[in-house]
Structure 1
Amino acid sequence: MTDWKREGGCRCGQVRFKVSAAPLVTMACHCTGCQKMSSSAFSLSAAIPAEGFEVTQGEPVIGGLHGASKHYFCPHCMSWMFTRPEGMDWFVNLRSPLLDDTGGMAPFIETWTSEKLPFAQTGAPHSYEALPPMEAYEGLMKEYVEWTGK
């Protein structure tokens, strides 16, 4: 959907972005890496088509593990903002709580539940011990559109 528009930014406001395409799917990741990087029980994200995401102010820096997948942070407040996963340049994994309007951003999928903290609950309709199999994503994205009514 191309008329889906939102803006957001880091905690201090130094880095801002705009989103002009609806999420492909929303997620909560329970892996210990996300727990440590977000200092929380899980990280929340929305897979945004790459052409529908733009940094409009500031210059995010690469942080996290500095590996093949690039994790981008605000250079001032160090908010983890988005990830560009290796080999999947068609989407940006945006930390959805950074949107100014977080309405309708509940997680549809939760991943890495094999590492989740016992008290962490998301209410996501789909749950995976690791990641969903690659062949499941097309169906999950179609079901997500129906779930959100977009």
Structure 2
Amino acid sequence: MTSTDWKTRQGSCRCGRLRFEITTPPIITTACHCKGCQRMSASAFSLSMAVPVEGFRLLSGEPVIGGAREMKGLDHSFCGHCMSWVFTRFPEVMGEIINVRSTMLEDTSELEPFLETCTAEKLDWVTTPAKHSFEHFPTPEEFPALIEEYSTR
């Protein structure tokens, strides 16, 4: 999906009080199988899309920080009312990128995971259509090539 194909998408938490929009295409889509994501999403993995901070805008509501609060530099943002996990910021790792739970968007078309992470922790029966799999997280040196490949698919 190129930036010319992207249409602004809106999303919200489960109760709709925390609303947002994404105005730029994701730089990559992922499925994370780590135990933390399994527990926070109450699922086998969490789905997300990384977007530049300038492409993300809150429309209503005020997120609260929760989840792995003890992990410095990792801010999981939730709706303060329904407690839906909506997005994560981790500036020390990804800079000016926001990792939005793609399932919170009203239109999730074309957002299947391109890569999956932490497969060393995944449940044995889980499969995804991800093109790339990593037992842990890709190294910072691997991300530029993955982002480039995602942008040209």
Place the TM-score, normalised by the shorter chain, in its bin.
over 0.9
Give the letter aligned to residue 61 of structure 1.
V
Query: Do the aligned residues in 2 keep the contact of 1:9 with 1:17 (CA within 8 Å)?
Result: yes
CA RMSD of aligned residues (A): 1.1
Query: Do the aligned residues in 2 keep the contact of 1:44 with 1:95 (CA within 8 Å)?
Result: yes
User: Which contiguous aligned blocks of 4+ residues in structure 1 show a shift greater than 2 angstroms?
Assistant: 1-4
Give the letter aligned to residue 46 of structure 2.
S
Aligned runs of 1:65-144 on 2, under 5 Å?
A: 65-66=68-69, 67-68=71-72, 69-87=74-92, 88-144=94-150
Q: What are the ranges of 5 or more consecutive residues in structure 2 without an aligned counterpart?
A: none
Q: Percent identity?
A: 50
| Deviation digits for residues 85-141 of structure 1 (CA, Å, limit 9, x no counterpart) | 141331000000000100000000000000000011111000000011111111111
Query: Do the aligned residues in 2 keep the contact of 1:50 with 1:89 (CA within 8 Å)?
Result: no
CA distance in 2, matches of 1:86, 1:141: 17
CA distance in 2, matches of 1:85, 1:109: 18
Aligned match of 2:33: 30
CA distance in 1, matches of 2:40, 2:118: 15
Task: Quote the offset at 1:145 in angstroms.
Answer: 1.4
Q: If the length of structure 1 is used for normalisation, what is the TM-score? A: 0.94
Number of residue equivalences:
147
Which secondary structure state, in structure 2, belongs to the residue aligned with residue 134 of structure 1?
Answer: coil
Q: If the length of structure 2 is used for normalisation, what is the TM-score? A: 0.92
CA distance in 2, matches of 1:114, 1:52: 32
Q: What are the ranges of 5 or more consecutive residues in structure 1 without an aligned counterpart?
A: none
Q: 128-137 or 106-115, which moves further after superposition?
A: 128-137
